[in-house]
Structure 1
């Protein structure tokens, strides 16, 4: 264990770590199996002892996430053009694409910021925003908000763990990851409750409609 901690300590305190952090955060934007959040939290834990620099961790994590989101957006933009040309009016895919376009036009910015904290969700949202032709200027604004808030969130979670367990960074990483998982669980729970409520409202509306149609005239 001491040997592993020594390797991690050497890697995280190396000047090259900043470049790795940027690259991992960027790749995670369009290839969401890279553990960028864990890396940011780990960096925050070690930043509690002075190296790496906490501000640099936040900035480079945010810049990487911002760049990765734009790669994902551009992939969706290119694929969306071919998708639109292949859709036939009246089909389910055409209706689904129309719904996605309306949803993104109405609350795409909020969806982008929230999806940054949902595992795999950010890639789905950024690709969809590109595919439906969401305006790039506004995408960049909301992507910046999402990236900066995410960088702060991950680095500060790790920093809290690092301060609490200054002499045992492994425990600090565990605490930081535990806090991140707790936040994710809360977000997912809120989304689940929201879906259940919306589904219940749809069922109730259908039942009311059926009751109205069943009433005799006069």
Structure 2
């Protein structure tokens, strides 16, 4: 059964159409985070051990798709997010929290964009928010290029590593690659949660400076 599944996956991933699918899924995941782009990129990386698909092409196509999808998310935030924000009453707790978040993005936006690219779901929320606060498009594109390229390289190589370790059993290689990716995601999320716990409340910061 596993051999049949491996042959089916290999036949699908080895098809020339895989690059179009890879681009589309990576792009859609940028603004509709139900689509599991990491899984597809890691799977392509596993089977790239055999030479089909080509590892370099997988990295380039995945990065290009993710870059395009993130910009759709950014533009959605820029068009639809700002009117919603303007309805928040000035001086309210929600408005003060938003102003504090806006300042944080402008001060550390590059780091936030790159790190959140590795956390499924949060990447969309981040890019929409970045667009809503009108973070400069040129800076967003620069940092997003760094994030998407490093993400595509990481996901592809994780799959490729799993494929190398279990070259004769690609299903195990895929499971290893997904396990590594899940572990790293959990570590990133745990670090983010810990830092958030230690971060001062924006309201208290504002009150202390009042």
* 1:154 alignment counterpart: 155
Name which one, 1 or 2, has greater alpha-carbon Rg.
1
TM-score (norm 1): 0.88
**Counterpart in the other structure of 1:48:** 49
Q: Which residue of 2 aligns with 1:18?
A: 19
- Structure 1 Cα separation of the partners of residues 85 and 161 of structure 2: 47
Q: Distance in 1 between matches of 2:81 and 2:185?
A: 30
Partner of 2:87: 86
Q: What is the CA deviation profile of residues 78-117 of structure 1, one whole-angstrom value per residue up to 9, with x for unaligned ones?
A: 1123124323312233223212211111111110000011
User: What corresponds to 1:7 in structure 2?
Assistant: 8
Which segments of structure 1 move beyond 4 Å, counting only runs of 4 or more? none
Q: Which residue of 2 aligns with 1:112?
A: 113
Aligned equivalents of 2:43, 2:16: Cα separation in 1: 15
The unaligned stretches of length 5 or more in structure 1 are 210-218
- Structure 2 length normalisation: TM-score? 0.91
1:124 pairs with 2:125: yes
Tell me how far 1:186 sits from its aligned partner.
1.4
**Structure 2 spans left out of the alignment, 5+ residues:** none
**Which residue pairs with 1:95 in the alignment?**
96
Equivalent-residue separation in structure 2 for 1:185 and 1:85 (angstroms): 35
In the alignment, the residues of structure 1 paired with residue 112 and residue 12 of structure 2 have an alpha-carbon distance, to the nearest angstrom, of 35
In 1: Cα distance, 2:25 partner to 2:52 partner: 19
* Equivalent position SS for 1:167: coil
**Aligned counterparts of 1:37 and 1:120: Cα–Cα separation in 2:** 12
Cα RMSD over matched residues? 1.8
Distance across 2 between alignment mates of 1:78 and 1:182: 36
- Aligned mates of 1:48, 1:194 — CA distance in 2: 38
Distance apart, 1:161 and its partner CA? 0.6
Q: 1:188 & 1:80 partners in 2: Cα distance?
A: 25
Does the residue aligned with 2:168 lie in a helix, a strand or coil? coil
| Cα distance per residue 1:6-60 (max 9 Å; x no partner) | 2211110000000000000000001111110011000000001111000000000
